[in-house]
């Protein structure tokens, strides 16, 4: 059994969505300063690094993160090669030969290469799911869709794609690092921190081979 970690490491250098609070990690207590123990304080947005969006992110009255169905977050997943594509429209997704019945779909796009740049600033021209692609995923019965940059939706018009997915209860996992992952079938485990009332949360996501 091989476990592939597809989670970004949360550091202050991690790019964040423009306008979101930057990652701040501090250590109010530290052994080196003579404290009893070391304690790290996290000051981050719920949408930091590898994270998921709950329906409440865009849908009034939508489910918050602690109420998500764990069943959608653990199970068989397909990683598809969507490199060399622009925005993922219904037509583009149709052309990726995704078999029917896939419930968890992870899209490896050209975005993964952006993580190679390490501390690079936020990239606005990332590959995203177009509204028609979101509708296609809902029609196909996908329950979880993951992508390898910080949003499933295009930078200049984020609402429609999010609304279509989240209204249908499709969980959006964002900020995956799929650089080292060959397309194919895996078992996904993607569990968000259980924060009451939150519209999203950082996840530790792994693929098991």
Contacts with Zn ion, residue ranges (CB under 5 A) = 47, 53, 174, 200
Q: Rank residues 2 and 154 by Cβ distance to Zn ion and give the closer one.
A: 154
Q: How far is the CB of 175 from Zn ion (least distance, A)?
A: 8
The neighbouring-strand residues paired with 20 are none
Query: Rounded to the nearest 10 degrees, how much is the dihedral formed by the CA atoms of 97, 100, 106, 109?
Result: 20
Q: Rank residues 81 and 138 by Cβ distance to Zn ion and give the closer one.
A: 138
Given 4, 30, 51, 57, the catalytic residue = 57
Orientation of helix 159-167 relative to helix 131-139, angle to 10° = 10
What's phi and psi for 201, nearest 5 deg? -165, 150
**Is 57 an active-site residue?**
yes
Cα–Cα distance measured from residue 105 to residue 170, given in angstroms and rounded to the nearest whole number: 11
By the 8 A CB rule, do 13 and 162 touch? no
Tell me the chain's radius of gyration from C-alpha atoms: 17
DSSP element (H, E) containing 132 = helix 131-139
Q: Rank residues 167 and 187 by Cβ distance to Zn ion and give the closer one.
A: 167
Q: How far is the CB of 206 from Zn ion (least distance, A)?
A: 19
Query: Rounded to the nearest 10 degrees, how much is the dihedral formed by the CA atoms of 106, 108, 111, 116?
Result: 110
By the 8 A CB rule, do 190 and 23 touch? no
By the 8 A CB rule, do 50 and 173 touch? yes
Q: How far is the CB of 174 from Zn ion (least distance, A)?
A: 5
Q: How far is the CB of 48 from Zn ion (least distance, A)?
A: 9
Q: Rank residues 188 and 200 by Cβ distance to Zn ion and give the closer one.
A: 200
Q: How far is the CB of 136 from Zn ion (least distance, A)?
A: 20
Which residues are identified as catalytic? 57
């Amino acid at each position: 059994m091989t476990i592939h970690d597809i989670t970004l490491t949360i550091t202050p250098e991690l790019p964040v969505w423009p306008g979101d609070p930057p990652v701040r990690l501090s250590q109010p207590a530290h052994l080196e300063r003579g404290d009893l123990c070391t304690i790290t304080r996290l000051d981050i947005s719920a949408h930091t690094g590898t994270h998921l969006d709950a329906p409440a992110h865009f849908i009034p009255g939508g489910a918050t993160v602690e109420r998500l169905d764990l069943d959608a977050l653990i199970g068989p997943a397909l990683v598809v090669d969507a490199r060399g594509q622009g925005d993922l429209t219904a037509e583009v997704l149709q052309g990726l030969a995704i078999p029917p019945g896939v419930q968890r779909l992870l899209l490896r796009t050209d975005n993964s290469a952006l993580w190679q740049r390490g501390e690079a600033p936020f990239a606005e021209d990332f590959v995203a799911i177009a509204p028609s692609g979101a509708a296609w995923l809902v029609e196909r019965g996908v329950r979880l869709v993951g992508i390898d940059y910080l949003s499933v939706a295009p930078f200049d018009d984020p609402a429609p794609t999010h609304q279509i997915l989240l209204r249908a209860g499709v969980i959006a996992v964002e900020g995956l690092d799929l650089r080292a992952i060959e397309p194919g079938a895996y078992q996904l485990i993607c569990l968000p921190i259980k924060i009451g009332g939150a519209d999203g949360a950082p996840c530790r996501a792994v693929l098991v081979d």
